[in-house]
Amino acid sequence: MPQWFIRGLRRGVVTTRYPARPDPSASTLPGPPAFRPRALTRAVADTLARVCPSRAIARDRGTLVFDAGACTACGRCRDAEPSAVIWSREFELAATDRPSLVKRIQLRGEESQ
Amino acid sequence: MSPGGQEQAAAEDLRHAVRRQFGRSLHIRTLDTGSCAACEQEIRMLAAPHYDLQRLGFFFTPAPRHADLLLVTGPMLRAFAAAAGKTYDAMPGPKLVVATGACALGGVYQPDAFSYGSVGEVLPVDVWIPGCPPSPLALLQGLLVAVGRLAGKVSALSFTVGGEP
C-alpha cells in the first residue's frame, strides 16, 4: 500500500470544521483594530486618522468614524497609539449592506451628538 | 404598511427563497477588476484541503453562464467596467454578487480617471467581504452569508473594548 495513504490515515483529517466549529487558526489572522474609548481623545483620533493609509479612520467632530470595509489590517494605528488600539481578532466581517461596516465611536470628553 | 412595502416584503421573500435554493449547490465565477492578486491567492486557497470549499457544495466555474455567484475583486477599473457588465449580464438569474477585499469595498482607491474605486458603482452587490486580503475563512463566511446559511454578525460589532468613555 502506498506510504502516503498510511501517513494520511495516521494524521487524520486536516480540513477545518468551520462553520460547524470554530477554526483554531482564526485568532492568528490579521484583522481590523478595536478601540478603547477611554483612551480616545481628539488628539489620538487625529493621529489615527493621519497614519491610516486607506482612510478607514476619520474624525467627525466628537466621534471617530471607523470603516471596517476600508481597513487593510496594516496595524499602523496599533503602532501609533498602542494604548488606544488593540487587535480585534474578528474575521467574520461579511455584511449584506455597506453602511453597516462603518462604525461611529464616541471620543472621550466629547458630548454626544 | 408604507407605499411599496408590500412589494418590498415580496422581494425579501423572494430573496430568501433564492438563497435557500443556492444553499447546497452554488457555482462561483471569480472576476478580477484590477486587484493585486492577493485576493485571488486567498480565493484559490479555498479549494485547498484545509478549507475544502466543495464540502459545502460550492464550486468554481470558468464560465459566467454556469455561475450563480460573481466573486468580484479589485477597485473596478473603468477600462474593465464594460466587461464586468457583460459578465453579469451573461449569468443566468437569479444571481448574487459578492465584493471581496478592501479595494472592491472602496477603501483603497479613490474614484479617479482610471477606476471607479468601488465595485458597487457598477454592479449590484449583495454581500461585502472586508479584508486586505480577506482570509479564506472570511471568504467562507462571506459565501455562507451570501446563501443565507450564516447570519452576518458585523452589524452587531462595535470595534470597541473596555466600555464607554
Q: Look up residue A36 and give its three cell numbers.
A: 478603547
Task: Look at B146 and A35 and tell me if their CB atoms are within 8 Å.
Answer: no
Distance from CA of B86 to the nearest CA of A (A): 24
Whether residue A37 is contained in a domain is answered as yes
pLDDT one-digit tens code per residue, B19-33: 777 878 899 999 999
Query: What average pLDDT does the segment A19-43 reach?
Result: 88
Q: Cβ A40–B165 below 8 Å, yes or no?
A: yes
Please indicate, yes or no, if residue A11 is contained in any of the structural domains.
no
Q: Do B137 and A91 touch (CB under 8 A)?
A: yes
The grid coordinates listed for A105 are: 465611536
At residue A17, the pLDDT reads 86
Residue A8 domain-assigned?
no
* Min Cα–Cα distance to chain A from B133, Å: 8
Domain architecture of chain B: domains with CATH = 23-147 (3.40.50.12280)
pLDDT of residue A7: 84
**Cβ-proximal residues to B132 (8 Å cutoff; 6+ apart), any chain:** A54, A71, A72, A73, A74, B38, B101, B102, B103, B107, B108
CATH number of residue A86's parent domain: 3.30.70.3270
Distance from CA of B146 to the nearest CA of A (A): 8
Of residues A108 and B88, more confidently modeled: B88
Q: Which residues of A touch B149 (CB under 8 A)?
A: 19
pLDDT at site B24: 80
Q: Which residues of B touch A87 (CB under 8 A)?
A: none
pLDDT at A13: 80
* Domain extent at residue A60: 22-106
What is the number of structural domains in chain A? 1
The confidence score (pLDDT) of residue A10 equals 85
A6 within a domain of the structure (yes/no): no
Instruction: Report ipTM for this prediction.
Output: 0.86
Q: Which residue has the higher pLDDT, B148 or B40?
A: B40
Residue A113's pLDDT is: 53
Alpha-carbon distance of B115 to A17, in angstroms, equals 38
Amino acid B3: pLDDT: 58
- pLDDT tens digits for range B47-83: 998 999 999 999 999 999 999 999 999 999 999 999 9
Res. A102: pLDDT tops 70? yes
Could you check whether the bond before residue B130 is cis, i.e. omega within 30 degrees of 0? no
Average pLDDT of the residues in B97-113: 92
pLDDT at B165 > cutoff 60: no
CB contact residues (below 8 A), chain B span 75-104, against chain A: 102
Residues of chain A contacting residue B107, judged by C-beta atoms under 8 Å apart: 54-56, 67, 69-72
Q: Tell whether B28 lies on the interface with A, counting CB pairs under 8 A.
A: no
